Amino acid sequence: MCKPFYFITAALLLPLTAALGQSQTTKGTRTLGIASSDSYYDSGSYGSDLNLSVSPSVGKFFADNWAFGVAVPLSYYYRSYKREDSRGHNVVLGLAPWLRYYIPSESRHRLFAEAQAGVLADAYWGRRSVYDPIVNNRTEKYSGTDFGYLAGVGAGYSYFLTPNVGLEGVLSYNRGGFDNGNGALGLSIGLRAYLGQ
């Protein structure tokens, strides 16, 4: 008696879960997300490196499966060299509008394409070793600011943990920097909340 009841209940609820899967990417839905990439810590006899990178973002679906928004990439980099008694800090802050297209699907698994472009500001400071034939191991303080750009295209996958929260990964080709600009493949992992209209 219980088995047919569970089967009928599941059959009645299945269309509702399909509708929930599609409703995350409908026009008017807002998104809040945070992603991280290229974060690490390394230490050895030479010194240490620390890199932390996060990118909070907000967005809105302007049409079904089409979203636009803005991300604020933020990273902190610290390095120290024991032999030279030098160390440096970098804080990079950016503003990057993005555009996404989600491939229509009614499941918890969603694929999307993403493009973004924006600007970066880099503040750096620290102490570095300077060659001096008279005084060995002399160091001096330094600081400065640079401005650059970033641009990227990528493909992503989102798995909806709940109807309103997705765990996502994006594999992208990014170009940018503060001099001539370098290109590189990157992988970011994050969470995104989908808020109703």
Residue-range definition of the domain harbouring residue 104? 2-195
User: Picking from 121-125, 131-135, 182-186, which range would have the lowest pLDDT averaged per residue?
Assistant: 131-135
Residues making up the chain, counted from first to last: 197
**Helix or strand (DSSP H, E) at 123:** strand 109-130
Quote the tokens at residue 193.
Answer: 């909340």
pLDDT tens-digit map of 165-178:
999 999 999 998 77
pLDDT at 159 over 70: yes
First to last CA, the chain: 41
Average pLDDT over residues 151-170: 96
pLDDT tens-digit map of 117-129:
999 999 999 988 7
Residue 27: φ, ψ to 5°: -55, 135
Domains in the chain: how many in total? 1
Q: How many CB atoms lie within 10 A of CB 49?
A: 15
Which letter, b or e, does each residue of 129-161 get, where b requires 16 or more Cβ atoms within 10 Å of its Cβ? eeeeeeeeeeeeeeeeeeebebebebebebebe
Specify the CATH number for the domain of residue 109.
Answer: 2.40.160
